[in-house]
Amino acid sequence: MESKEYRYVETQFAEHKIYTFAMRVGDLLQMQYVASRGVSTEQGAVQRILNKSRVDSISRFVLAGNSFVNTFILNWTDTQYQPKVKKETLIIPLQGRFAQMLDGQHRMAGLQEAVNQKADVADMEVLVSLFIGLNTKEAARIFLNINSEQKPVPRSLIYDLFGEAYDDPESAITRVTDIISFLNETPDSPYYGRVHYPGKPNSQNLIDLAIMVNAMKPAFERSGTFNQLQLSEIETQQKIVLNFYTAIQNKYNDVWDKPKDNLFLRAAGFSGAFDFLTGTLLQHCQTDRKFSVSHMESLMKLDSLPLLKPDDVKSLGGRVARARVTDYFRENYLADLPEDNDSYEF
Q: Does residue 138 register a pLDDT over 90? A: no
Mean pLDDT of 224-253: 92
Tell me, what's the pLDDT at 40?
A: 43
Mean pLDDT of 2-25: 90
Mean pLDDT of 75-101: 88
Alpha carbons 48 and 312: distance in angstroms, whole number: 39
Tell me, what's the pLDDT at 115?
A: 95
Tell me, what's the pLDDT at 56?
A: 86
Mean pLDDT of 307-323: 84
Q: What is the mean pLDDT of the chain?
A: 83
Tell me, what's the pLDDT at 37?
A: 43
| Domain layout of the chain by residue ranges | 3-149, 155-333
Q: How confident is the model at residue 147 (pLDDT cuts 50, 70, 90)?
A: low
Tell me, what's the pLDDT at 139?
A: 77
Mean pLDDT of 240-258: 92
Condensed to tens digits (0 to 9), the pLDDT of residues 324-335 reads 989 888 887 765
Q: Does residue 233 register a pLDDT over 60? A: yes
Q: How confident is the model at residue 135 (pLDDT cuts 50, 70, 90)?
A: confident
More confident residue, 36 or 158: 158
Tell me, what's the pLDDT at 38?
A: 39
More confident residue, 15 or 115: 115
Longest dimension (CA), the chain: 88
Tell me, what's the pLDDT at 96?
A: 80
Tell me, what's the pLDDT at 52?
A: 79
Tell me, what's the pLDDT at 45?
A: 42
Q: Does residue 288 register a pLDDT over 70? A: yes
More confident residue, 60 or 316: 60
Q: How confident is the model at residue 157 (pLDDT cuts 50, 70, 90)?
A: low
